[in-house]
Amino acid sequence: MSVLLRMEGVEKSFPGVKALKGISLEVEEGEVHALMGENGAGKSTLIKVLTGVYGRDQGKIYFAGEEIHCKSPAEAGEIGISTIYQELNLIPYQTVYENMFLGRELKKNAFFLDRKAMQDEAEKALSDLGLEIDVTKSLNHYSTAIQQMVAIARAVRSKARLVIMDEPTSSLDQTEVRVLFRIIRQLKEKKISVLFISHKLDEVYEICDNLTIFRDGETVGRYAVQDIDQYKLISLMIGKEWKEREREDKKSFSDAETLLSVKNAKLAMRLSGVNLSIRKGEILGLAGLLGSGRTELAELLFGTEKAGEGEVFWMDEAYFRRNPSKSIEKGMGFCTEDRKTEGILPNLSVEENMTIAMLPKLQKHGFIDFKKQKELAKRYVELFNIKTPSLAQKIRNLSGGNQQKVLLARWMCMNPKLMILDEPTRGIDVGAKEEIEKLIQGLSAEGISVLMISSELSELARNCHRVVVLRDGKVRGEIEGDAIFEDSIMTLIAEDAKEGEEDEAK
């Protein structure tokens, strides 16, 4: 097969960080190639250098046999390189179809856009992906997952020869991942290459042909996927021997005191009468597909979602008129799934982002104890192995996974009694994932309860003492202790789906 893309000796520095130290990469025509590496290894930076978001300091890039120097993503698009970036770069308040044609609008003549044609084409492109939505609504009307699908539709509908996907599946559920993989296979049939970045190894093993491993801004090696097992792959990524963490013994919490409970939680169209209780020290998992009501339930408990109904009890006392600051005062922490809109403060430093929620606690006689603030931030940077040149670095300059770690640390600092984690390891590499899982176990050992929402069933199976499966806003089942396995959770979710189809058929 012929080589479509070749990058040689590419270097790129930012103030205080050499992100790429002479990286090489080869992608063949019609292959799906994975880019693997820890958080901060340089994957996204390489993509941005290739597509002209950043200039490069050194190195050569060849595409379809010619040396290229793209100065902007639009220019990259013109020569056939289409990209879905890690952080979505669509315009939320514009309509779906405008977003799909951003920068290459269809025109009736020199003065007028052909809106009808754009709407029709956008509708068709999306329905090809199995998505029937109103394209004239603004993009932020839809969930992150749908926005992601729009970005994908936008990338594949252009005349691309290489489609780059930087963590495309991080906000998709299993069904949507199936759709994406179908699209990737279609691209392959058309001899279009895909450069695929993901921290989920099972995805890489399923869809990719070859992979290149990066570590600390350098290329470690290129392998055919079938020639490298998971242990070797991870060991090469982290630069030391790796062994899978053993499943924790499943402690029973049936005798423990109840910390939080909710009766008959309701929210229009989203939750229809959920009962749930969390015991002290227990790690309770919430499983279910996107739209099953997991996040809504967590938001209702925490008080971000105010429209909901339901009786909530916190340490046996009724908790009325819930709101986030009251919840924090009581001892709840809530690390949300959407770090971009709800989490990070992009222009503040790592240290500030980490300690912002606990500033009131850091005050002494009305002044912030800066020394303590710094110590705390330093401790978590070390504990989570956060890659940053300094505590003063603006958080927007950190890699995606490292931003996620800062957010987790923000809540850990607060010493909560209950930690609600919504997709805590999204975008986090294998090594850091293990660190975070250990931390969650540590919280439980100290008597802190954890409510964990995750689409990664293996993560729930390894860590939870009890797993509750939601579907269409209702509790559909519960698994406890030694019965918790990836398969048993999956079965419960799948059984439900079948039942649902039958219901609809009636």
Residue type, 161: R
Cβ-based nearer residue to ligand ATP, 101 or 214: 214
431 or 481: CB nearest ligand ATP: 431
> Counting contacts by CB under 5 A, is residue 212 touching Mg ion?
no
Judged by beta carbon, residue 28 or residue 218, the one nearer ligand ATP is: 218
What is the contact mask toward Mg ion in residues 67 to 106, using x (rule: CB under 5 A)? -------------------x--------------------
Place of tokens 């009325």: 320
Structure tokens at 431: 């090594």
What's the per-residue H, E or C state across 482-503?
HHCCHHHHHHHHHHHHHHHHHH
Residue closer to ligand ATP by CB (options 399, 449) is 399
Beta bridge partners, 466, equal: 284, 480
- The long-range contacts involving 244-249, CB below 8 angstroms and separated by at least 24 positions, are 245/434, 245/437, 245/438, 245/462, 247/461, 247/462, 248/441, 248/462, 248/463
Query: Which of 39/355 has CB closer to ligand ATP?
Result: 39
Which stretch, 135-143, 281-289, 311-319, 392-400, contacts Mg ion (CB under 5 A)? 392-400
Helix 115-128 with 144-157: angle, nearest 10 deg: 110
Nearest distance in Å: CB 162, ligand ATP: 18
- CB 242 → ligand ATP: shortest distance, Å? 17
Q: Given the rule CB under 6 A, which residues bind ligand ATP?
A: 14, 17, 19, 37, 39-45, 86, 387, 397-402, 429
3-class state of residue 313 by DSSP: strand
The span of 128-136, 258-266, 275-283, 397-405 binding Mg ion (CB under 5 A) equals 397-405
Q: Of these partners, Mg ion, ligand ATP, none, which one is at the site of residue 281 (CB under 5 to 8 Å by kind)?
A: none
- The pair of structure tokens assigned to 232 is 């070797």
Residues 260-289 that bind Mg ion (CB under 5 A): none
- Tell me which of ligand ATP, Mg ion, none is bound by residue 52, counting a contact when its beta carbon lies within the kind-specific cut-off of 5 to 8 angstroms: none
Residue 96 contact, options ligand ATP, Mg ion, none, Cβ 5-8 Å cut-off depending on partner type: none
Q: Taking CB within 5 to 8 Å according to partner kind, which of ligand ATP, Mg ion, none is near residue 219?
A: none
Query: Pick from ligand ATP, Mg ion, none: which does 230 bind, CB < 5 to 8 A by kind?
Result: none
Strands 332-335 and 418-422: parallel
Count Cβ atoms below 10 Å from residue 329 Cβ, excluding itself. 10
Here's the x/- map for Mg ion, 30-49, by CB under 5 A: it reads as: -------------xx-----
Alpha carbons 273 and 504: distance in angstroms, whole number = 20
> According to the binding rule CB under 5 A, does residue 400 interact with Mg ion?
yes
Non-local (6+) Cβ contacts of 284 within 8 A are 276, 278, 449, 450, 451, 452, 464, 465, 466, 467, 468
**Which parts of 303-369 fold into alpha helices (H)?**
324-330, 350-355
* C-alpha to C-alpha distance for 280 and 470, rounded to whole angstroms: 22
Closer to ligand ATP at the Cβ: 381 or 461?
Answer: 381
Residues in contact with Mg ion by CB under 5 A are 43-44, 86, 399-400
